[in-house]
Amino acid sequence: MGLRKNIKTRIKAGIRKNKQLINKNLDAFFDWIKGAELVELKECNTQDDPVRPELDNIFRRSYGRKIYGVKYMGEIHAVMCFAYTNEIPKDVDELDKFSHDAFLQSAQRDQKVGKIAIAYTVWSKKKGGGKLIVKEVFKKIKKSNHLNRLVTLSPLTEMATKFHSRNGAKLLRINETTQNFEYQVEKKK
């Protein structure tokens, strides 16, 4: 009886120790997220982009298009590129045209480029980075005066579908080579 009780006690102690170790490792794993900040980038390494590596930094920064990164301890861990438009594009050519049009229209009006933020690529180098950058860009859009929608121009892949669905986006439409998801933007009144 004493041996059996001793074994059970050791097993329970081992389980407690393993739980503590797992919790400590999880906390350390996600600590970087707490200290990360969203920053606008002048450029990114386009070869790191798994979705649209063919788009150079000039494209990504022209006509109101932006590159944002999640920065932690001086290093960029996730990147999102998006364009301001007034229409939802079906492909990169339309994205280019629509963002160019929105940019030119704003130059003649109020300098506020487009009403829709189109996220056309996102990637992460660190676990949790993709979700974090979507969340941070989403907050920025909610605070803006002129943006009222966040829509994606995503590839037709299961990975893109799962990523956006898990993060709360709704599928708008499936195009010939892309798909559009929308994140619901509710402005604070």
Do 64 and 31 fall within a single domain? no
* Phi and psi based region of residue 150 (left: phi greater than 0; alpha: psi -120 to 50; beta: remaining): beta
pTM: 0.77
Strand partners, 179: 154, 174
Residue 127 counted as domain residue: yes
Cα gap 47→29, rounded to integer Å? 26
Query: Looking at per-residue confidence, does 138 or 70 come out higher?
Result: 70
Q: Is residue 188 part of a domain?
A: no
- Same domain for 147 and 82? yes
Same domain membership, residue 103 and residue 14: no
Cα–Cα distance measured from residue 32 to residue 138, given in angstroms and rounded to the nearest whole number: 19
pLDDT tens string 161-170: 998 998 889 9
Domain residues for the domain of 150 are 37-183
Per the structure, the count of domains in the chain is: 2
My answer on whether 29 and 70 are in the same domain is: no
> pLDDT tens for residues 78-131?
999 999 999 999 999 999 999 999 998 877 665 566 789 999 999 998 888 888
**Predicted confidence (pLDDT) per residue in 44-92, tens digit:** 999 999 999 999 999 999 998 999 999 988 889 999 999 999 999 999 9
pLDDT of residue 26 exceeding 50, the answer is no
User: Sorting pLDDT into bands at 50, 70 and 90, what band is 37?
Assistant: confident
Rounded Cα distance, 95 and 82, in Å = 10
The reply to whether 135 falls in a domain is yes
- Determine the pLDDT at residue 115: 87
